[in-house]
Structure formats: C-alpha cells, structure tokens
Amino acid sequence: MSSRIYFDHSATTPLDPRVLEAMGPFLSGAQGNPSSLHQEGRVARAAVDKSRVQVAELVGAEPGEIIFTASGTEADNLALIGAVRASGKPGHVVASAIEHAAILEACKFLASGGTKITHLPVDRDGLVRPDGLLRALQSKVTVVSVMAANNVVGTIQPIEELAHLTKLHDVLFHTDAVQAGGKIPLDVNRLHADLLSLSAHKLHGPKGVGALYVRKGTELAPIIFGGGQERGLRSATENVAGIVGFGAAAEIARKELDQEAKRLAGFREYIATEVLRNFPNAYLLGHPTERLPGHLSFGFRGQEREVGKLLEALDQAGVAVSAGSACSANHSGEPSSVLLAMGYDAESARGLIRVSLGRFNTQQEVDCFLHVLSNAVSALPGTAVRASLPRLANPAEAAFA
C-alpha cells in the first residue's frame, strides 16, 4: 500500500480499476472509427452508444441528449458560446461570480464580441440568492449559468429554484455539474436544466473526456467544425476508449452514489469536528450543510499567509491536499477570487485549505491526515493547539506500518 494519502479529488480522481477494465479492449485491440461502416467501426459505434446511455442515466437524460466532448471545460464553452451564437445576437449571459474559470473565461471571450455579462453575487456561504437572479432577469437574457457545486468551497447551489425562475422568463439555464456529477443526485428534469456539463475524471473515470447534456429542442451552435460528429455539435473522431471509461464510471457512480455519499460525508464531518476542536483559530468555509459529501474547506485565522508552508509540510509528510482549484495553481499566493466574492477580505482569502475525499480513501487515512495536520500546524509560528492529537515523528509511515 502506498504511504501517500491523496485528498485532492476535486482536482482529479484516481481511475477506478473497473473503469480501466472496461476501457481495455479499446486501448489495445478494438480500434475502429465509430463513423466507419465496417465491422470494426460498428463495434466502436456500439460502445459509444452504450456509454451514451450510461452517462444519460447518471443525470436522468435521454441518450440522444448527451454530447461527448474532450473535457468539462469544452462542455462549458460549448454551452455558453454555442447558446449565444445560436441566438444570432450578441446576447446577455448571466453567471455567478464564483463560477469555474471555464465559464468566467468564456464570458470574457463573449464580452469581447459585444455580449453583455452579468455576474450574480453570492452570500457568505457561497450561495446564489434567487432575488439576485430575479433582478438580472428583468432585462433580456440569453442564458444563465450557475454551477451545481463549487469546486473551491463545496457549496451546493439551489439549482432547481434558480432554474425554475429562468423558465418563467423563457431563458436557457446551464449548470456546470463537473464537481457534482456522481457525488450528489442529479436529474435534469427535476432541476429544469437545459444544459449541463460533466467530466469523467472527476468521478473516477479517465482524463480527456467530458459531456454536455443538451435538452431536446435547445438551439446550440457548434464551436468546433469538421465531420459533423455528435449531432453536428462536436466534430472530431470520438475518443472511444475515453468515452467507454466515462460510461463505466458514470454507471458505477450512479449505482454506488447513496452509500458512497454517506461514507464520505461521515469522513468530512469527522475531520471538521477534529479541526475545530483542536485549533482555536480554525474556521470552516462554504455552506455548513449544503455542501458536497467529501469536500471540506477551512483556514486558520491569523495564519493565512502560512498556507503555502503548511501545504508543503503536508506534502513532504505524504499528504496531498490543495489551496483551492487546481486550475488556479499558477496564481498560488494570491487571494482566492471565490472567497473574495463571498465577502472575505484579501488576507483571509489567501488561507484556504481544501480537503476533498474520494472512493478509495479510508478511515485510517483520515486519522493519519489529522495527525500530520496537527504536526504541520503546530510547527507554524504563533499556533495554539488544544492538544488532543499526539504528534508522530513519521505519521504517514506510522499509520501504514
């Protein structure tokens, strides 16, 4: 067993061995192009079609409403840029202030072409308030995009309520469900979503494949042009092995969702309780209850500038956690834009520690992490510890001895 502890599943998840097994034939043998008419092509097409059903079932969609992409980022771009282009006008996009960069950067691109962009504020817990959306909907809007769950603080948004408001104003609603897919129940019909983005590598599937749910009748223009695959919305030869892996991962996640969510939520609450109990200056970030099962974000008041040293100490001790979105790693040390939008000052917004758990994590790893954290935080200047966790010389090695 590896002595490394991986608690950064919001960045990416390890491939489930069952998923790798499903992909195997398409990595070393079945090499047909799904668009070819010969037997090899038909085998590949059948595999893609099966995976389309599996991904559709994860979110309560029809198979024909699933468009495979190369990533969740591409799915987000296709949703927003495709909706604006299909409208034939510069349009107006409304998105929350704490969206993933895939949405925010797409908004910047659209703004450069004349699209009006409105960013919805969030409260201290990271929630979009319906009254804020209602105000934005008083003017003509093309599409609203609010993520199902935030990748930095784990807050789950009231998507059903927000999307219902857009239906009253005949406006398209998109949700980036990359973090939420396979972790919480999602049903596109109950949620009133017209567009929904997913990514395989966030639910123990392979990297390099995503999907966009497009409700039947929703007008969308392509952003990639070529041979007309994926109903003309995503030209390029399909990544058959990746799509097969996505399908297998989606089916496993759907079948095991309830049990796994309960297990991970138990770990999350245990860590939160121990952190708050042992460190007087610790505080939690995000909504206290409406949050992803395996996601916990916290900081240490007065020591926010030490987060880089803390993460380095944890890494050296064999524990992988993060200071927020992996996509913002190149801006480490800068205040988190998500926390700033939630009303935190610049100092506090530098101190985020994100722990995100996954399918293969164990209670033993959780206990080891808490010991490692205690040692690492205690070594920082000015730390007060309530002293219940024993310090270990080599905690990661001791836990796995």
Q: Among candidates 244, 245, 176, 211, which has minimal Cα distance to 71?
A: 211
**Alpha helix segments (H runs only) across 113-238:** 130-136, 159-168, 188-191
Neighbours of 90 (CB within 10 A): 14
- CA 284/CA 18 separation, integer angstroms: 35
Looking at the chain, how many residues does it have? 401
- CA 20/CA 374 separation, integer angstroms: 36
Residues 6+ apart with CB under 8 A from 268: 291, 293, 294, 295, 296, 355, 357
Q: Among candidates 327, 49, 382, which has minimal Cα distance to 179?
A: 327
H helix count then E strand count, the chain: 12, 12
E strand or H helix at 310: helix 307-316
- The single-letter code of the amino acid at 9 is H
- CA 370/CA 296 separation, integer angstroms: 13
- Please compute, for residue 288, the number of CA atoms within 13 A of its CA located in the half-sphere on the CB side: 2
- CA 392/CA 273 separation, integer angstroms: 21
Residue with the two structure tokens 């040692």: 375
Catalytic residue at 368? no
Per annotation, catalytic residue among 327, 340, 380, 385: 327
Burial of 376 (C-beta count, 10 Å sphere; 0-12/13-18/19+): buried
The answer to whether 11 and 322 are in contact (CB under 8 A) is yes
- CA 81/CA 171 separation, integer angstroms: 15
Residues 6+ apart with CB under 8 A from 51: 68, 243, 244, 246, 247, 248, 250
Burial of 102 (C-beta count, 10 Å sphere; 0-12/13-18/19+): buried
By annotation, the residues acting in catalysis are: 327
